[in-house]
Structure formats: structure tokens, C-alpha cells
Amino acid sequence: MKKVLLSEKIDDKGIQLLKDNGFDVHVSAGTDVETMKKEIKDAYAVIMRSSQLPAEVIDAGEQLKIISRNGTGINNVDVNEATKKNILVAKVNGANAFAVAEYVMTTMLLLSRKVLTSNKLIHEKKDELAAIGSLPGFSTQFSLNGNELRGKTLAILGLGKIGQELVKLAQVFGMNVVGYDPYLKDSPVKLYEKLEDIYPIADFLSINMPLTDETKNMIAEKQLQSMKKTAFIINSARGGIINEDDLADALNNDVIAGAAIDSFNPEPPAPDNPLFTSKNTILTSHMAGTTIEANQALGLGAAQAIIDFSNGKVPEFPVNQEILQK
């Protein structure tokens, strides 16, 4: 019976699908290097969530044939080492696209309508409400009357499956949507060729790109200074694309109006991460794409890639498919 190692537990439906297809499923006792090296030694396949799979762990997999990523991003897997070892890397595309797009819309609404600020103040000043006389008066006194999304410009950096789901949702709200994606041939919205042209026009900037050498620290002081003072940034992609020190400075000095950050560099963020004390900042726990529905789809997709490969089929989303030609 072939062993499938899960670096971290995936959705139960994915586990059951593997068992129904004759695999022996084990959840690793830990995600640290030494534990993973022991656990992976006799594994035919491994499913990775967000923890790291470095070269030394891959090398310890004496029977390893496929690495299946329970998600889209592969920056936590040493793909080059896997390719050297003739190990296929596969991923799951699009399973959580709607969830991430929905997260972006949710945080844009929370920021634009000042919902969290209002919630905080109404709790803090509950004893003063009667003296103020009316809740609309309270909102006016404390500048809680936010803005509508309608008519605002949303700039999406990266128009893959997530970005295109986001386009549809934003247009329902009457937003003007533009984008940047140098790899896209057919776009549902106007594309800008230069990033420096898109920052000044954005009321909301949504980052939906992978972390690569090209995108690392792509948004730093210079880019933030070029944005509107009323602009908001939402990063539901990967930490490291935005320089966190520069973003915190921009937020605390009113260079931009606010931000929602779901990914950090590194993860988890250190206690002294400057975003913990930056103004008007929503911080979440890498949860944008992890709804119950999305987790089920991701787990099933990651499991199916292993089943397909074991049956001599090419998984739906191979990363280093050049090894299949050997």
C-alpha cells in the first residue's frame, strides 16, 4: 500500500478519497525539517499545505514520486530539487478563487465603510451614547460616515483565476476595474503595461500575484508615495510582495488610508512586526482562501492529483511537467 504523507491535515474528504483509492494516509507529527525527513522517507507522495518543503527533506524521500500542493502557490516547495530528483510537483488551481475574491470584497467594504472603527468606538463610548442623542450624530461626530464602493477604481495586480473572479464581484458593485498582468493575453478589463501608471489612479489596490524574485518588495516606499491618500491596499496573495516596514510607515503617516493584510513575511509574523501597530489596518491569519468550501475543493484536488499520477495519468495542474518527458 502506497503511503501518502500530509505535512499538515487536509480536509477529511480529500483524506477519504485517498483511502478509497487504496492509499495509506499519514499526517506528519510536525512540519520541522528533522521530523519531515523521518516521515517522508518511505512516502510515495506528499501533500503540502503552507509549511516549507526544502531540498533536504525532498532528498530524504527515498520512494517519493509526487509532491501535491494543497493550493496554488508553490513558493514553499523547492521545485528545482524535485525536478532534479525526477519528482513531479502538482498544484490545485482555482479551487479557492471565489473565496479569495470574496475576502477582498469583504475587506474593501470593512475599510471603506469604517465598520471596524465604528464597532470599536461604539463599544468604547457606550456610556456616552445617550448624551449624544442619535447614532447618526455619533457617526458624524467621530467621522464614521464612510464611502461607497460604487464608482471607485479597483486596480487588480494579477488577473489569474482569483483576479478574474474579483472582476466579476467588483463590477456588480459598480466599480471601475483595471488591471496589471504581463502574462495575460485576453483580459476582461483594461490592462496597464506599466505598474507606475496604475498606482496613482487606484482607490483600492488588490494584490493577487505570486511571490517571485520579480515581485518581491514590488511595493515599497516609492510606490506607496505615488498612491492617493485615500487609497486602500489589500494583500491576499503572499507576504514579501509589499515591504512591511514601508507599508506601516505609510499607514501611520497617512500616505494611504488603510490596508488589509492576510499574508506576511515571514509567517507567522514576529511580535515586533510593524503592521501590528499601524493605523487602520486589518490583519488576518492567511484565511482568504480557506473557507470550508474552498478547503474541501483543495483537499480533493490535491488528492486527485496523486490518484491520477499513480494511475499513469497526468495531473490536471503539473508544475514541472518536463520530467514527464524523460
Mark which of 283, 300, 316 sits at the end of a domain. 283
Q: Is the pLDDT of residue 50 over 90?
A: no
User: Angle at which helices 292-310 and 12-20 pack, to 10 degrees?
Assistant: 20
> Each residue of 264-275: pLDDT tens digit?
999 899 999 999
225/319 same-domain check: no
Q: Residue 60 belongs to a domain with what CATH number?
A: 3.40.50.720
Q: Which of 286, 293, 316, 322 is catalytic?
A: 286
Residue 261: the pLDDT is 98
Mean pLDDT of 204-209: 97
Provide CB contacts within 8 A for 270, sequence distance 6+. none
Joined grid coordinates for residue 64: 517519493
107/159 same-domain check: yes
Number of domains in the chain: 2
Q: Which of 39, 49, 102, 238 is catalytic?
A: 238
Q: Give me the residues paired with residue 206 across strands.
A: 156, 234
> Each residue of 59-104: pLDDT tens digit?
999 999 999 999 988 989 999 999 999 999 999 999 999 999 999 9
270/235 same-domain check: yes
249/181 same-domain check: yes
**Which structural domain range is residue 126 located in?**
97-283
119/156 same-domain check: yes
88/102 same-domain check: no
What is the pTM assigned to this prediction? 0.90
186/65 same-domain check: no
Which residue has better confidence, 206 or 324? 206
313/238 same-domain check: no
Q: Which of 8, 221, 267, 316 is catalytic?
A: 267
238 flagged as catalytic: yes
Mark which of 283, 301, 317 sits at the end of a domain. 283
175/156 same-domain check: yes
Q: Give me the residues paired with residue 12 across strands.
A: none
273/139 same-domain check: yes
150/36 same-domain check: no
239/302 same-domain check: no
Mean pLDDT of 138-152: 96
> Each residue of 183-192: pLDDT tens digit?
998 999 999 9
Residue 326: the pLDDT is 66
